[in-house]
Amino acid sequence: MIGQYFQTAVRKPSGSALEEFMLLNGRYSNFTKETFFIRYISGPGWDQDLERLQAWQKQSAPKGAGFVFARSLASQPPAADAGKYLDLYHGGSVLFPFRFENRIWQDAFERGFSRTLDLFKQARGRSEESILRNFAIKMLYWIDTYFPALFVETTKMTRFPKFACGGTVKLPEYLFLYLLFLLGCDVLYISPSQDVSVNSGELLELSLKIQGPPPQPAAAAAVRPPAPQGGRVVVPMDRIRRSDRTAPPAAPPAPAPSPATSAAAPARRPLEFEELARFASSVVMLQVFDQKDQCFKTGSGVIISEKGYVLTNFHVVSGGRYYGILLEEETDVFYTNELIKYHPDYDLAVLRMEKHRTPIPISKGAKKLVRGQKVVAIGSPLGLFNSVSDGIISGFRNMEKVSMIQFTAPVSHGSSGGALLDMYGELIGLITAGYDDGQNLNLAVDCQTIAQFVRGLL
Q: Which residues pair with residue 284 across a beta bridge?
A: 301
Which of 193, 211, 229 delimits the end of a domain?
A: 211
DSSP state letters, 291-307: TTS-EEEEEEEEE--TT
207 lies in the same domain as 272: no
Per-residue DSSP letter, 358: P
pLDDT of residue 28: 55
Q: Indicate whether 63 pLDDT > 60.
A: no
- Give the Cα separation of 64 and 183 in Å (integer): 17
- Give domain status of residue 160, yes or no: yes
pLDDT of residue 86: 84
Q: Which residues pair with residue 211 across a beta bridge?
A: 41
Report the amino acid identity of residue 44.
P
- Give the Cα separation of 141 and 74 in Å (integer): 9
Q: Indicate whether 224 pLDDT > 80.
A: no
| Burial (0-12, 13-18, 19+ Cβ within 10 Å), 456 | exposed
Q: Indicate whether 275 pLDDT > 60.
A: yes
Give the chain's length.
458
- Give the Cα separation of 235 and 289 in Å (integer): 13
Give the pLDDT mean for 266-288: 88
- Give domain status of residue 72, yes or no: yes
- Give domain status of residue 301, yes or no: yes
pLDDT of residue 232: 32
pLDDT of residue 245: 34
280 lies in the same domain as 189: no
- Give domain status of residue 85, yes or no: yes
- Coil vs helix vs strand at 91: coil
pLDDT of residue 65: 61
43 lies in the same domain as 176: yes
- Give domain status of residue 92, yes or no: yes
Query: Residue 265: which pLDDT band, with cuts at 50, 70 and 90?
Result: very low
- Give the Cα separation of 159 and 150 in Å (integer): 11
Contacts for 324 with CB less than 8 Å, ≥ 6 apart: 234, 286, 287, 289, 295, 333, 334, 335
358 lies in the same domain as 290: yes
- Give domain status of residue 233, yes or no: no
DSSP state letters, 237-274: GGG------PPPSSPPPPPPPPGGG-TTSPPP-PPPHH
| pLDDT tens profile 91-147 | 667 899 999 998 888 988 999 999 999 999 888 876 667 778 888 888 999 999 999
Say which residue, 34 or 226, is predicted with more confidence. 34
Q: Indicate whether 64 pLDDT > 80.
A: no
Q: How many CB atoms lie within 10 A of CB 286?
A: 26
Give the pLDDT mean for 192-221: 77
Q: How many CB atoms lie within 10 A of CB 239?
A: 10
pLDDT of residue 312: 96
Give the pLDDT mean for 17-36: 67
| pLDDT tens profile 420-434 | 999 999 999 999 976
Per-residue DSSP letter, 333: P
445 lies in the same domain as 353: yes
The helix or strand, by DSSP H or E, that contains position 397, with its residue range, turns out to be strand 387-399
Q: Indicate whether 281 pLDDT > 60.
A: yes
Q: How many CB atoms lie within 10 A of CB 244?
A: 10
300 lies in the same domain as 412: yes
Which of 195, 211, 227 delimits the end of a domain?
A: 211
pLDDT of residue 62: 53
387-406 burial code (b ≥16 CB/10 A, e <16): bbbbbebbeeeeeeebbbbb
pLDDT of residue 129: 76
Q: Indicate whether 30 pLDDT > 90.
A: no
Q: Please tell me the least confidently modeled range out of 102-116, 188-202, 208-222.
A: 208-222
203 lies in the same domain as 341: no
Which of 188, 211, 234 delimits the end of a domain?
A: 211
156 lies in the same domain as 276: no
Determine the structural domain holding residue 322 and report its residue range. 268-453
- Give domain status of residue 219, yes or no: no
Q: CA 193 → CA 39, 42, 44, 210, 226, distances in Å?
A: 11, 7, 9, 11, 19
pLDDT of residue 7: 52
- Give domain status of residue 131, yes or no: yes
CATH number of the domain bearing residue 309: 2.40.10.120
172 lies in the same domain as 282: no
| pLDDT tens profile 356-388 | 889 999 998 878 999 999 999 998 876 677 788
Per-residue DSSP letter, 230: P
Q: Are 142 and 73 in contact (CB under 8 A)?
A: yes
Q: Please tell me the least confidently modeled range out of 76-90, 134-148, 155-169, 249-263.
A: 249-263
Q: Please tell me the least confidently modeled range out of 12-21, 98-107, 236-245.
A: 236-245
Pairing of strands 32-35, 7-10: parallel
350-363 burial code (b ≥16 CB/10 A, e <16): bbbbbbbbbbbbbb
Say which residue, 48 or 243, is predicted with more confidence. 48
Q: Indicate whether 253 pLDDT > 60.
A: no
317 lies in the same domain as 199: no
Tally the domains of the chain.
2
| pLDDT tens profile 291-323 | 888 999 989 999 999 989 999 999 999 999 999
Q: Indicate whether 37 pLDDT > 70.
A: yes
41 lies in the same domain as 183: yes
| pLDDT tens profile 226-237 | 333 333 333 332
Q: Indicate whether 410 pLDDT > 60.
A: yes
Query: Residue 211: which pLDDT band, with cuts at 50, 70 and 90?
Result: confident
184 lies in the same domain as 308: no
Q: Are 134 and 120 in contact (CB under 8 A)?
A: no
